[in-house]
Amino acid sequence: MRLDGTVALVTGASSGIGEAAAVALAHQGAAVAAVARRRERLEDLAARIGKDGGRVLVIEADVTDEAQARAAVERTASELGRIDTLVNNAGVMLLGPAQDAPVSEWQRMVEVNVLGLLYCAHAALPHLIRAADDGPRYVADMVNVSSVAGRIARSGSGVYNLTKHGVGAFSEALRQEVTRKHVRISLVEPGAVETELAGHNRPEVLEGIRSTFGDVERMQPEDIADAIAYIVTRPRHVAINEVLIRPTEQE
Ligand code: NDP
């Protein structure tokens, strides 16, 4: 099913996977609300999608602020008319051993990866339920971006693992709650993707990440956007609950 006549809200659309997902969903015909803090990046994206005939609503918002997250959702519904798809993608990954880790890094991960996702999910849910009840597709989607780190915990990644395992647990519980209403909850779990994500780490941690992944050919954001587009374009009776995608060379 194409997405013509539908509206998608993508968090973390100013770079990486979220930016590629916004392009992919617009390409399928969705009007897209692009949410993140860096307005200029969102405006560049909107101009690019606009050139191809797509429609983007730029929303500058910090999803860790409940009021801003809720306002982003409500503005999408009021200015674009509805919400059929929510891609909960905004995230941060700050790695390193627990001992001596700056607790502020843990707080940021919990705030963005868990609370930000929950605020957006909570605010969007009534709109998704309404969209599933009233065409054009009679189905709605929430795609939550987790990680391989949401399936397998590793030393040096404990709090990131905690947040992404939490995203997986919440997604499965919510799936059971709303699937009869034709709101599909999906979990996408990427391995290493070439984005800005790792660049926010302390230099010594970044060095460790570089040596772990070394010469592994990373995926591109478009590889994950492809999976997201696949999930949300399935026929109404098909729900893709979970997709784990690794670079072929990642062990
Ligand atoms: P990027 O760093 O390129 O993108 C992260 C996005 O999140 C940016 O658009 C950023 O926008 C946004 N963001 C961060 N904090 C906030 C906030 N407080 N409010 C609103 N938006 C925010 O990384 P990726 O594209 O790689 O990451 C996207 C998702 O994919 C994350 O959830 C990540 O955990 C997950 N992932 C990534 C993998 C990888 O290897 N890259 C592997 C597995 C999962 P801005 O700064 O403008 O606010």
pLDDT tops 90 at residue 24: yes
* 35 contacts 21 by C-beta, under 8 angstroms: no
Q: Ligand 1 pocket test: which of 9, 66, 89 has the largest number of ligand atoms within 8 Å of its C-beta? A: 89
DSSP assignment string, 192-249: -B-SSGGGGS-HHHHHHHHHHHTT--PBPHHHHHHHHHHHHTS-TT----EEEE--TT
Give percent of the chain with pLDDT exceeding 70.
Answer: 100
Q: Is 91 in the pocket of ligand 1 (CB under 6 A)?
A: yes
Atom nearest to 68 CA in ligand 1:
19
Q: Ligand 1 pocket test: which of 95, 195, 196, 224 has the largest number of ligand atoms within 8 Å of its C-beta? A: 195
> Who wins on pLDDT, 215 or 54?
54
Question: What is the structure's pLDDT at 213?
Answer: 85
**Is 0.90 surpassed by the pTM of this model?**
yes
Angstrom distance (rounded) from CA 3 to CA 5: 6
Atom nearest to 112 CA in ligand 1:
18
* 90 contacts 41 by C-beta, under 8 angstroms: no
CA atoms within 13 A on the CB side of 28: 24
Question: What is the structure's pLDDT at 214?
Answer: 83
Topology at the third CATH level for domain 7-245: Rossmann fold (3.40.50)
* 235 contacts 147 by C-beta, under 8 angstroms: no
Q: Is 138 one of the catalytic residues?
A: no
* 10 contacts 32 by C-beta, under 8 angstroms: yes
Q: In what order do the strands lie in the sheet with 85-88?
A: 56-60, 31-36, 7-11, 85-88, 140-145, 183-190, 242-245
Question: What is the structure's pLDDT at 69?
Answer: 99
Q: Is 18 in the pocket of ligand 1 (CB under 6 A)?
A: yes
Residue that has been written with the tokens 């984005």 in this structure: 195
CA atoms within 13 A on the CB side of 215: 0
**Can you say whether the dihedral through the CA atoms of 159, 164, 168, 174 is positive or negative?**
positive
How many angstroms separate the alpha carbon of residue 175 from the centre of ligand 1? 23
pLDDT band at 157 (very low <50, low <70, confident <90, very high): very high
User: Span 104-129, mean pLDDT?
Assistant: 98
Atom nearest to 19 CA in ligand 1:
9
3-class SS at 7?
Answer: strand
pLDDT tops 80 at residue 198: yes
Tell me, what amino acid is at 97?
A: P
Q: Ligand 1 pocket test: which of 92, 108, 154, 209 has the largest number of ligand atoms within 8 Å of its C-beta? A: 92
Residue that has been written with the tokens 């647990």 in this structure: 169
Domain regions of the chain by residue span? 7-245
